[in-house]
Amino acid sequence: MEYQFYTNHVEETFKLGQKLGQLLYPGCLLTLEGELGAGKTMLTKGIGAGMGVSSIINSPTFTILKQYVGRIPLYHFDAYRLEDSEEDLGFEEMFDGDGVCVIEWPAFIEYMLPTQRLMIKIKKIDDCKREWTLIPIGQKYELLCKELSK
């Protein structure tokens, strides 16, 4: 089942992420798909706030991975620069580890991602409005989406 949410400005995107972040627990993996400027990093900022991260979250474009401390660790990946990379980067250990993984541009590392995850597709409707389609793959993500929908 797919779940859809709509936001009308960046503050709503942040709040959607914050609500989601409050529900997450160790071992959760979220993938974010959407064009540049769709809101991937803003959603991640909200997720971090919901997880109790106090430091500033920004895009890990040039570092590929940024780690943040909250009630549990947040691992924020930007896989855009990993296109055509097949080297072992050691990310798999984090995917099932002690924190939450949020991956922007997951198509570039699809071969190393676990099957079960929460896929989030972002459609930019206009400068401010977004359509968020959450596709849970696995029972724990289905339960997470049901809780988020309340």
Q: Can you tell me the mean pLDDT for 33-57? A: 95
Cross-sheet strand order for the sheet of 130-137:
3-7, 130-137, 117-124, 29-33, 100-104, 74-78, 65-68
For residue 122, give the nearest of 57, 39, 2 by alpha carbon: 39
Q: Can you tell me the mean pLDDT for 115-133? A: 96
Q: Please tell me the predicted confidence (pLDDT) of residue 60.
A: 72
Q: Please tell me the predicted confidence (pLDDT) of residue 83.
A: 56
Judge whether residue 140 has pLDDT over 70: yes
Q: Which residue segments constitute the domains of the chain, with CATH numbers given? A: 3-83+94-149 (3.40.50.300)
